[in-house]
Amino acid sequence: MLVTDMNWMQVEEYLQHDDRAVLPLGSTEQHGYLRLTVDCVLPERVAAEAAEPLGIPVFPVVAYGVTPYFRAYPGSVSLRVETHLNVVRDILDSLAHSGFRRILVVNGHGGNAAVQQFLPQWTADHPNCRVLFHNWWNAPRTWAKVQEIDPVASHASWMENFPWTRLPNVTLPSAQRPMVDLARVRALDPVGLRAYLGDGNYGGFYQRSDEEMLALWSVAVDETRSLLTGTWGD
């Protein structure tokens, strides 16, 4: 259930019998022909669908992440690493103060990786809490499904093109784009990166069938839900 559809009294009542919550992390950045908010839409949606049958609240996605390399693409917004970590820290502190003791962080953006490194520090300061960090798109079962469908998959390619991330009246290229040189990508400044990438797709077809995408989505939701029902490290 979404926290946006709850009031504080309902949250308080929930905490009388459960202490789990989900925090999605996203980013607002270029995704080629797809929505700038792909990395917000996907973690929030996979979290909501995974948590709904369990009655676990999902907090609103943190819509801005760390993406300085895409600054030359209009509409891309980047936080400093320290700013992002401070935001996440404050959110987790608030959740713990409310009484949430098991928190699943569902991440939708690779640039937010510093959070995964930070979480052991946070839990060391909150020994009564457990926090799991979940990159939904490259978790073992989900990534295996991506590879089964098409191993040429990357940022802004078909693997992020779901019915809920594409835009109406936007025509996508039909050809498969060769994979970019990731070593070169990591070395370029934002202006050079845009000149090298062009539309923003890192490689692969721009779209595959909805049947394939829904099959991938089903695996991702199930894998995310399994974390919520698992041992939480105990």
171-213 pLDDT tens trace: 999 999 999 999 999 999 999 999 999 999 999 999 999 999 9
Residue 32: band (very low, low, confident or very high) from pLDDT cuts 50, 70, 90? very high
Residues 6+ apart with CB under 8 A from 230: none
User: What does each C-alpha distance from 2 to 9, 43, 44, 194, 221 come to in angstroms?
Assistant: 14, 13, 9, 36, 16
- Check pLDDT > 90 for residue 1: no
pTM for the full model? 0.96
pLDDT value of position 71: 97
Distance (Å, whole) CA 39 – CA 29 = 8
Domain segments of the chain as ranges: 3-228
> Over the stretch 130-141, which tens digit does the pLDDT of each residue have?
999 999 999 999
Strand ranges of the sheet holding 130-135, from the earlier edge strand across to the other edge: 20-25, 102-107, 130-135
Share of the chain above pLDDT 90, in %: 99
- pLDDT at position 234 is 78
Among candidate residues 133, 134, 131, the one with its CA nearest the CA of residue 143: 134
CATH 1.10.540.10 fits 3-228, yes or no: no
| Mean pLDDT computed over every residue of the chain | 97
Let me know: does 22 contact 134? Beta carbons within 8 Å.
no
Percent with pLDDT over 70 in the chain: 100
| 72-128 pLDDT per residue, tens | 999 999 999 999 999 999 999 999 999 999 999 999 999 999 999 999 999 999 999
pLDDT bucket at 219, cuts 50 / 70 / 90? very high
Confidence of residue 233 (pLDDT cuts 50, 70, 90): confident
pLDDT digits (tens, 9 = 90+) for 50-80: 999 999 999 999 999 999 999 999 999 999 9
